[in-house]
């Protein structure tokens, strides 16, 4: 004689959770995988499921790294308003992939935190930004890289063709917006000189930031 073991469900348990030791007497021998919260408050998942989680906080984490505000110094970099900056004074740079141009630290306030006043310049567009951060708090600092390429050609629409180390070409950059640098590049190329340009990259952006003249072409 075939015996059936009935399933006992407690109203206090989440829907789809089975009592330990029971079997399912439903025509479906293998019910769809379920996710439920067990008695220990732990998330339980079926072994047949693959779950992939992506942390939003980790997205783009490789583009920046944390640094305590009180340790950021002049000519350092900082991110302000999601832009990379650099500062070069006694105030800290902005959180915008900028260069810090000024950093000043106030005395400890009534809440026990000294504050850093950052004044910085966006390393790509030259805009000035400011921010005030408790000196003990972390700021985002951009990874700023510089790579040299040999200039091969300049297109009519302002794009440059650069020779990479692997022998390929990089053709996705425009001429710089800085007038002085732009003139040097155009004049040197027109004179037939071998030119090496330095490309600065940070937080997903790239821009030609410097020029090296290595003499006339052979």
DSSP of 111-128, one letter per residue?
Answer: TS--EEEEEEEETTT--E
Each residue's pLDDT tens digit, 4-57? 545 444 444 444 444 444 444 444 444 444 443 333 333 333 333 333 333 333
- Mean pLDDT is lowest, of 88-92, 126-130, 162-166, for 88-92
63-94 tens-digit pLDDT: 999 999 999 888 899 999 989 998 665 443 33
SS3 81: coil
**Could you tell me where the DSSP H helices lie in 142-210?**
179-190
pLDDT for 190: 94
- The partner residues of 153 in beta bridges, in order of sequence, read 161
pLDDT digits (tens, 9 = 90+) for 92-108: 333 334 566 666 666 65
CATH of the domain at 138: 2.30.30.30
Q: Is 190 within a domain?
A: yes
Task: Name the residue among 123, 116, 113 with its Cα closest to residue 209.
Answer: 123
Let me know if residue 56 belongs to a domain.
no
Q: Are residues 109 and 154 in the same domain?
A: no
Calpha distance 26→151 (Å, rounded): 72
Where residue 203 sits, what CATH number does that domain have? 2.40.50.140
Number of C-beta neighbours around residue 97 at 10 A: 33
Indicate whether 86 belongs to any domain: yes
172 phi-psi bin (left φ>0, alpha ψ -120 to 50, beta other): alpha
Q: 3-state SS of the chain: helix, strand, coil percent to 5?
A: 10, 45, 45
Q: How confident is the model at residue 187 (pLDDT cuts 50, 70, 90)?
A: very high
83 & 119 share domain = yes
Domain assignment of residue 77, given as a range: 64-142
Q: Which of the listed residues 142, 161, 187 is the one where a domain comes to its end?
A: 142
pLDDT averaged over every residue in the chain: 74
Tell me if 134 sits within 8 A of 69, measured CB to CB: yes
Q: Which residue has the higher pLDDT, 174 or 107?
A: 174
Q: How confident is the model at residue 215 (pLDDT cuts 50, 70, 90)?
A: confident
User: For residue 58, how many other CB atoms are within 10 A of its CB?
Assistant: 8
Same domain, 155 and 115: no
């Amino acid at each position: 004689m075939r015996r059936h073991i009935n399933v006992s469900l407690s109203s206090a348990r989440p829907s789809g959770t089975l009592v330990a030791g029971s079997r399912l007497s439903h025509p479906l021998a293998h019910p769809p995988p379920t996710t439920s919260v067990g008695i220990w408050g732990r998330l339980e998942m079926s072994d047949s499921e693959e779950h992939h989680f992506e942390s939003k906080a980790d997205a783009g984490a490789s583009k920046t790294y944390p640094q305590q505000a009180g340790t950021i110094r002049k000519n350092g970099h900082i991110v302000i308003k999601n832009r990379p900056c650099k500062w070069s004074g006694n105030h800290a740079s902005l959180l915008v992939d900028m260069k810090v141009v000024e950093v000043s630290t106030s005395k400890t306030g009534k809440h026990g935190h000294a504050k850093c006043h950052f004044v910085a310049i966006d390393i790509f567009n030259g805009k000035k930004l400011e921010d005030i951060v408790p000196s003990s708090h972390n700021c985002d600092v951009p990874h700023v890289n510089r790579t040299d390429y040999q200039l091969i050609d300049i297109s009519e629409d302002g794009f440059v063709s650069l020779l990479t180390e692997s022998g390929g070409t990089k053709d996705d950059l425009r001429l710089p917006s800085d007038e002085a640098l732009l003139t040097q590049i155009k004049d040197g190329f027109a004179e037939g000189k071998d030119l090496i340009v330095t490309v600065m990259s940070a937080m997903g952006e790239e821009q030609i930031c410097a020029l090296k003249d290595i003499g006339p072409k052979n």
